Each structure stands twice: as C-alpha cells, then as structure tokens.
Amino acid sequence: MDAFTTLTAIAAPLPMANVDTDKIIPARFLKTIKRTGLGANLFDTLRYEADGRERPDFVLNQEPYRRAQILIAYENFGCGSSREHAPWALLDFGIRCVIAPDFADIFHNNTFKNGILPIRLPRELCDLLMQDARLGDNARLTVDLAAQVVVRPNGAKVHFEIDPFRKHLLLNGLDDIGQTLQHAAKIDSYEARQRQEKSWQPGIAI
C-alpha cells in the first residue's frame, strides 16, 4: 500500500449527502476481485447515460476534475452495503482523500485499509473547501497528514483529527498484511522454535 504523507491536488466538489456504496460503484461491477479497472465505473450512474455517453454536468466529467485526487462531499458518505470495491474504485480513479462531515463506519474503516485518507470536518468547513475547489486548476488543496491540516489555496490551515494508530499506518503505507510483516522476524523465530520443540508432532516439519 502506498504511504500517505502530503498531497497537493485538485479537489472535486460533490455536494451530496448519503452517497451510498452503490452510487460509488454499482453492484453489477462487483464480479471482479481485482483492485484495478474499477475507476472507469466510479459513480457510474451519475457519470454516464444509459447508452454510455458521459453526462457533461457531472463534476468528474469536467476539467480539471477528471484529474482530482481529493473529493469533498456531505454527510454519511459511503453508507449502504459494506463492499470494499467502493474504496477500490475511488483509488483506481485516483482519489486519495475524501473530506466530509462524517462517513459510514464500514466504509470509513475500508478507506484506511486501502490507503485513502477520510477526513471529517464540519459541514460549514466542507462548504468553504467546496468553494475553493470550484475555482478549478489554480486552487489546489494540500493535505498534510503529519501536521493534520488541510491547507486552503489562500494559505489558511484547517485542522482535522485522526486516530493516532491509523495515522501511523497511513504515513507508513501499512495495510493489514504490512502490519503483520513488521513482526516477520518474531514470527520466523517462533516457527523455528516450534519446529525444534515439537518435532514429534505430526505435521511439524524439521
């Protein structure tokens, strides 16, 4: 998993509340277990007409937001089913940070596991950041995870809270497997000791 340290990027405003995981990635695209390729269908029902043509009024079909790496939305983002494909689709599109007043719990947990930073900010601050985002390519936001601030185009800093352990994992690019591998030497030592001490047991290779 790629570490998240500091991100300076285009932010896309999505002034919608209760964006569920079926809006993020519709169920018909969940047949794959690969994490790649899902970005093309991110927000599929919002981005495309039934015949596949892009809807020009949807933000991610507009410049410069086709290149957005930050998404700003309203309350209860990621509600609905617990599909991990939702953060996969966001990440495959290029989104590394979602800012909203709050998130559905399972989606919130899944973002961290996939290297996406979810930032909770009050509605009024999300509105300010959306105003910044609407200025386009020349008004990029900076997210500094170590300092726990979002820096607006005018230089103003907006502080956000984050669980210290999850912050550590993101800064170091550690998912569940990465956390386990941090203890690889201890695991290897334990396994070697087990082979010596319990070599008499069936299934214990010497």
Given a cut of 70, is residue 182 above it in pLDDT? no
What's the pTM? 0.87
Segment 182-199 shows an average pLDDT of 63
Average pLDDT over residues 21-25: 97
Superfamily designation of domain 6-197: Aconitase, domain 4 (3.20.19.10)
Domain ranges of the chain: 6-197
Token pair listed for 102: 């709050």
E strands, the chain, are 6-9, 11-13, 70-72, 97-100, 117-120, 141-144, 149-151, 157-159
- Which DSSP helix (H) or strand (E) runs through 66? none
CA end-to-end span of the chain: 34
Beta-strand pair 117-120/97-100? parallel
Which of the pair, 180 or 60, is modelled with greater confidence? Answer: 60
> Which residue type is seen at 4?
F
